[in-house]
Amino acid sequence: MNWLLPSMPRKELPKPPMWWCWPLLLLISISIAALILFFTWPVQRGFANSRFWLYLLIIPFLLAFAIGAFVLSACLQARRAVIFRNQFIDSKQAQWQNWARRALKLTSWSLLTPEPDLAVRILGFQGVMPQAPSKPASLVENQNDKLSASPLADIITQTLTPLSEQLSKLQGVQVWFFTGEAENTSCIALIQAWKAALNKQLPLDQIHYLEQYPDGRLLTDWINNPLLKPHLLICCQFLKAESQVSEFSAALLFQPHSDAHLNSIKLKPVYVFRPQRNSLIQFEHNAAHFLGAGQTEGTRLRHLWDNGLERREHSKLISILDESAIAISPNNVHVLPQLLGPPASSSFWLTLCLAAESCDLGQRGQLVAAQSEESISLVQLSTQPAAPVNMPVDTISRYPLAYLAGTVAVMLALILLPADRDTQMGMLPWLGGGLVVVAALLSFSVPLALRLWRKRLDVEWHLLEQQRHD
């Protein structure tokens, strides 16, 4: 499923026949019957004979009723097809909303930066607003730690220490980490840091080393495949020879929605919704659909965290927010390159931690926007899950009652048409058996039609998706 749904056109319901068509049809039937009787009815039998009035009124009424029922059944079938088509479109939109509103539960996080208390300072709760340093800043190592000989292990230990109480209560934590260093060196440092922070061994089968920096696609994979065990992401940014980015280390703990341990956590979880990753060309068009998915109510979005958007893309995002009736105060738009210095590819997780900290401080919904060389990622965070999606109610009748009523009327007319009672009684079993057969066939007609319509709509939907992709 994609962020852009095919634009399948909806159809209007066909109008039923006008009310005056029914008495006109009855009048025409009676007129035709009177004309036939005028040339065929024996005068010597008189006009008080019950058969005369049967042929003049009852049988024309039954035939007019049958024709009207067949016409009405065709109109109802046409309306049924339109209703089924519109319900198909509504169900696709509901499935898309349900897909777009899936989220991960971020229960704990830890952020290690050269400057302390970044979130509360950026939000203006206390301290001085941070300013971008003139040169990249390094993380401070703990000189009293036994692992001071391994700077990487020391940094990871400091990152894990705030999470040690919660991690110690969890079993089978899957650790995904990126450090930018060699895999062997990073794994050894992680095992040492885990031992120092939690005082227990980390099994090798729970370690997932990432060769390239993770981005929003990792969150998308976890959302598409619901977590069965807690997932811990550790991302470190260290100074390189030509780097202009300050160091940081972030750890984020995601837990399954059905985890019983969530009830014992003091902090309320932060919901990280499905991210959207756009190319620079499609950003403006796709961002409007992203904000219209209803992940967070527009009135709950309070802060925008800009992690390296170009000026043009930043202006586009602000205008899209205005068009979507999402009012974010200019004081709540945090352009991190102006506060923390140039961003890096891995700064996405730094921004995510700051937004989560803002949620935890009572600031409700957050919008994170991060730009790389070829794409822009958007993520929404909130302290509340998305509103449930109501699937459209299927109100389509599965049985053509009007057609069955018309068939019954025709059979009654056929029974009443012969004057001989023995003939009528001889026809009764055959017509009754035929009615049962017709009713049995009708019971399968509408479900079969719905199945064929479904296949046709699926093909049309697939062709529209393929056309949009091309």
463 occurs within a structural domain: yes
376 close to 312: Cβ distance less than 8 angstroms: no
Say if residue 110 is in the same domain as residue 239: yes
Taking each helix axis from N to C end, the angle separating 421-469 and 59-100, rounded to the nearest 10 degrees, works out to: 30
Say if residue 250 is in the same domain as residue 321: yes
Tokens found for residue 147: 């692992």
Count how many Cα atoms sit within 13 Å of the Cα of residue 269 in the half-sphere of its side chain: 22
391 occurs within a structural domain: no
Say if residue 192 is in the same domain as residue 56: no
Q: Quick one: pLDDT at residue 262?
A: 56
Per-residue pLDDT of 80-132, as tens digits, reads 999 999 999 999 999 999 999 999 999 999 998 888 888 888 888 887 888 77
Angle CA 131–124–385, to nearest 5: 115
Residue 75 Cα distances to 18, 32, 90, 301, angstroms: 12, 25, 23, 48
15 occurs within a structural domain: no
Say if residue 83 is in the same domain as residue 171: no
Say if residue 275 is in the same domain as residue 376: yes
308 close to 350: Cβ distance less than 8 angstroms: no
* C-alpha span between 212 and 459 (Å, rounded): 39
* C-alpha span between 368 and 317 (Å, rounded): 11
* C-alpha span between 88 and 289 (Å, rounded): 20
Q: Quick one: pLDDT at residue 31?
A: 93
pLDDT band for position 259 (cuts 50, 70, 90): low
269 close to 211: Cβ distance less than 8 angstroms: no
Say if residue 340 is in the same domain as residue 446: no
- Tell whether the model's pLDDT for residue 52 goes beyond 90: no
pLDDT band for position 264 (cuts 50, 70, 90): low
- Tell whether the model's pLDDT for residue 232 goes beyond 60: yes
10 occurs within a structural domain: no
Task: Report which of residues 127 and 332 the model is more confident about.
Answer: 332
387 occurs within a structural domain: no
Q: How many domains does the chain have?
A: 2
> Residue 404: exposed, middle, or buried by beta-carbon count in 10 A (0-12, 13-18, 19+)?
middle
- Tell whether the model's pLDDT for residue 53 goes beyond 70: yes
232 close to 159: Cβ distance less than 8 angstroms: no
Q: Which helix (H) or strand (E) holds 79?
A: helix 59-100
Q: Where are the beta strands (DSSP E) in 312-383?
A: 333-335, 365-371, 375-382
- Tell whether the model's pLDDT for residue 143 goes beyond 60: no
Task: Report which of residues 104 and 465 the model is more confident about.
Answer: 104
The pLDDT of 442-450, averaged and rounded, is 86
The pLDDT of 305-323, averaged and rounded, is 89
Tokens found for residue 431: 């017509």
390 occurs within a structural domain: no
pLDDT band for position 147 (cuts 50, 70, 90): very low
Q: Quick one: pLDDT at residue 254?
A: 92
- Tell whether the model's pLDDT for residue 313 goes beyond 80: yes
217 occurs within a structural domain: yes
**CATH number for the domain including 364?**
3.40.47.10
* C-alpha span between 446 and 404 (Å, rounded): 13
Task: Report which of residues 360 and 62 the model is more confident about.
Answer: 62
Write a three-state SS string for the chain: CCCCCCCCCCCCCCCCCCCCHHHHHHHHHHHHHHHHHHHHCCHHHCCCCHHHHHHHHHHHHHHHHHHHHHHHHHHHHHHHHHHHHHHHHHHHHHHHHHHHCCEEEEEEEEEECCCCCHHHHHCCCCCCCCCCCCCCCCCCCCCCCCCCCCHHHHHHHHHHHHHHHHHCCCCCCEEEEECCCCHHHHHHHHHHHHHHHHCCCCCHHHEEECCCCCCHHHHHHHHHCCCCCCEEEEEEECCCCCCCCCCEEEEEEEECCCCHHHHHCCCCCEEEECCEEEECCCHHHHHHHHHCCCCCCHHHEEEEEEECCCHHHHHHHHHHHHHCCCCCCHHHEEEHHHHHCCCCCCHHHHHHHHHHHHHHHHHCEEEEEEECCCEEEEEEEECCCCCCCCCCCCCCCCCCHHHHHHHHHHHHHHHHCCCCHHHHHHHHHHHHHHHHHHHHHHHHHHHHHHHHHHHHHHHHHHHHHHHHHC
pLDDT band for position 242 (cuts 50, 70, 90): low
210 close to 349: Cβ distance less than 8 angstroms: no
Say if residue 296 is in the same domain as residue 378: yes
Q: Quick one: pLDDT at residue 144?
A: 55
Q: Quick one: pLDDT at residue 244?
A: 66
The pLDDT of 192-207, averaged and rounded, is 89
Say if residue 295 is in the same domain as residue 160: yes
Say if residue 378 is in the same domain as residue 416: no
- Tell whether the model's pLDDT for residue 221 goes beyond 90: yes
Q: Which domain holds residue 343?
A: 102-382
- Helix (H, G, I), strand (E, B), or coil: what is residue 81? helix
Say if residue 39 is in the same domain as residue 123: no
- Tell whether the model's pLDDT for residue 408 goes beyond 60: yes
- Give the rounded percent of residues in the chain with a pLDDT score beyond 70: 94
* C-alpha span between 413 and 425 (Å, rounded): 14
Say if residue 110 is in the same domain as residue 63: no
- Tell whether the model's pLDDT for residue 338 goes beyond 60: yes
* C-alpha span between 385 and 104 (Å, rounded): 10
Instruction: Tell me the backbone φ, ψ of residue 255, rounded to 5 degrees.
Output: -125, 155
Among residues 354, 382, 410, the one where a domain terminates is 382
The label of the residue with tokens 């979130």 reads 119
- Give the rounded percent of residues in the chain with a pLDDT score beyond 90: 24
8 occurs within a structural domain: no
The DSSP annotation for 239-287 comes to --TT--S--EEEEEEEE-TT-GGGGG-SSPPEEEEPPEEEETTTHHHHH
Say if residue 197 is in the same domain as residue 122: yes
User: Which amino acid is it at 107?
Assistant: T
